[in-house]
Amino acid sequence: MARVKNKRNKQQHKVWNVAVYIRLSRDDGNDESLSVTNQRKIIQEYLENTFEGEYTIVGEYVDDGLSGTTDYERLAFQRMIQEVESGVVNCIVCKTLARAFRNYSDQGYFLERIFPLYGVRFISLGDPAIDTYLQPEIAQGMEVPITGLMNDRYAARTSNDIRRTFDMKRRNGEFIGAFAPYGYKKNPENKNHLIIDEEAAQIVRNIYHWFVYDGMSKSGIVKHLNELGIPTPTKYKHNKGLKHYTPNYAKNDGMWSLGTVFRILQNEVYIGTMIQGKQRVISYKVHDKIAQPEEEWYVVENTHEPIIDQVTFEKAQNLGKRDTRTAPSQKRVYLFSGFLRCADCNMGMTRKSSRRRTKAGVKEYTYYVCSTYAVKNKNKCTRHSIKVEDLAEAVLKTIQTQIALVGNMSEIISEINQQPIVRTHSKQLEQLLKKQKQELEKITCVTDNLYMDWKCGDITRAEYMRMKAKFEQQADEAKQSIHHIEMEIAIAQKGIGVNDPYLKTFLKHRNIETLDRGLLLELIDTIYVHENNEITIQFTFADQHKRMLEFMKENNKQHMATKDQVM
């Protein structure tokens, strides 16, 4: 017994290197009694008035605003444990067990294994009050494990409550991310609403303009941004003192990357659409994230002011699907990149150059050839070769012809709209529209209730997914039907107006003399190259073109019938 006493006396004269651990959880809200300041004050008073032994505070470790349901995600906690392992810290003081551990298994791991292994004195000032050095029997008794279990169950309930709250916010289109997307900032009056950060938003607009209208490739945009010295989204937020999370920020070279530009060009947040729930945390104990299927994402339109207009965004998505690869040294894509296909094998066309000696000197020719013939197998297809200048001339003439045709259609439609034709079926269409809207409302209500049934455990996830897919398909069909009926009603009542997108888009280019990529993106879907320098162009607005032809045909019949009755 004497040896034990002497050992204890020797330890009592050692200096305790104290780590003060403080954690503020999101769950604490604005409760001042749980604040960082309050926790610090309580621990300081204890050390000054109650702590037994000589001590030195080697550090204060604060995890501010973290959930605390796992220990290895808390940066300050991790740093403290590293200093325990390196021998810098041999005493930890915190306000309660729940501040240090809210996961029962981790509590046992540290209190029963890690801290004894490194000779660490652990002190919790309440709920329950323990000191593993002065009262080791308390730490080994039943109260501590029971408290740990209670904290663990509380964490589980809190996690479920938070998840339900967040899901509801997602469904309402409220932003719940920790950091606003580049180009936006959180509204100071409502942190769940995004407002435009004009300085960054202008860079986003430039990226879209360069890509869609200036013909820059994505890699060209990256080079251009870096040459201009534009700060990356991470660097921008860091310079502005805005919150951001970049684990490898110190290793980041501060340069724009292809991935960053690619994500900006695809992100629907820039057209005012909020998409959330792409990933989910596995559980309140396991904070690893898993990807969610697209049908489980929360997609809500018009939740905030857009930075990019819908037309430009759709053009960017259309262009992004095309093959627009360029040489590494080239910023801009070629005029026809991504538009050309072989008319026979439907594969893309490859751009090639060759030089020929002429009396005037060496002349360079640039042409396109079927990629199947040029790259894969010459026996599978023929050359379908066409010079760039011949292609440009043919495309320009075809577009000019199409614009003239649309101009004639516009004049015919204008005459039809002035004719006193009675369109008797509009009331029937309105009744059908009302019925379809009621049907869509029912489907939406059923889908919402279905979600709650799954969350309450009334149906399995598999049943929920199966029924959800079924009702979503019905909803899509109803929406399409509503859209078509509304178009028919508009045409029946007013005819086709001069502001119809199809007419407006083509007619604004009436006087074109040259081609550019913006024009091609607006008017052309695909250019098919045949043999003998012939091409076929598939224009955009094909459905609208067909609808106008039907409109002219139908109204011409009605006009002739009315004329016969008068005669």
CA distance 140 to 125: 17
CATH number of the domain at 184-320, out of 3.90.1750.20, 3.40.50.1970, 3.20.20.330, 3.50.50.100? 3.90.1750.20
pLDDT given for residue 498 in this prediction: 55
CA distance 208 to 216: 10
CA distance 558 to 546: 19
Could you tell me the two tokens for 519? 């024009």
Residues 249 and 238 sit within 8 Å (Cβ to Cβ)? yes
pLDDT given for residue 183 in this prediction: 95
pLDDT given for residue 239 in this prediction: 87
| Domain residue spans of the chain | 2-158, 184-320, 392-428+480-566
- Note if the pTM is more than 0.85: no
pLDDT given for residue 219 in this prediction: 87
Which has the closest alpha carbon to 541: 527, 556, 558, 522?
522
Residues 271 and 445 sit within 8 Å (Cβ to Cβ)? no
At 270, phi and psi to the nearest 5? -75, -10
CA distance 118 to 159: 32
pLDDT given for residue 267 in this prediction: 94
CA distance 91 to 56: 10
pLDDT given for residue 34 in this prediction: 58
pLDDT given for residue 376 in this prediction: 78
Q: Which residues of 459-495 are buried (b: 16+ CB within 10 A; e: fewer)?
A: eeeeebeebbeebeebbeebeebbeebeebbebbeeb
At the fourth CATH level, the homologous superfamily of domain 2-158 is Resolvase, N-terminal catalytic domain (3.40.50.1390)
Per-10-residue mean pLDDT of the chain, 567 residues long, equals 37 80 66 70 91 92 63 78 94 88 76 90 85 77 59 61 76 88 93 94 95 86 92 90 62 81 95 88 64 84 93 87 68 84 91 79 84 84 91 91 82 66 59 86 85 81 84 86 76 59 79 86 90 89 70 60 38
CA angle, corner 384, sides to 379 and 388, nearest 5?
145
Which three-class secondary structure state does DSSP give residue 280? strand
Which three-class secondary structure state does DSSP give residue 237? helix
pLDDT given for residue 242 in this prediction: 74
Could you tell me the two tokens for 505? 């888009």
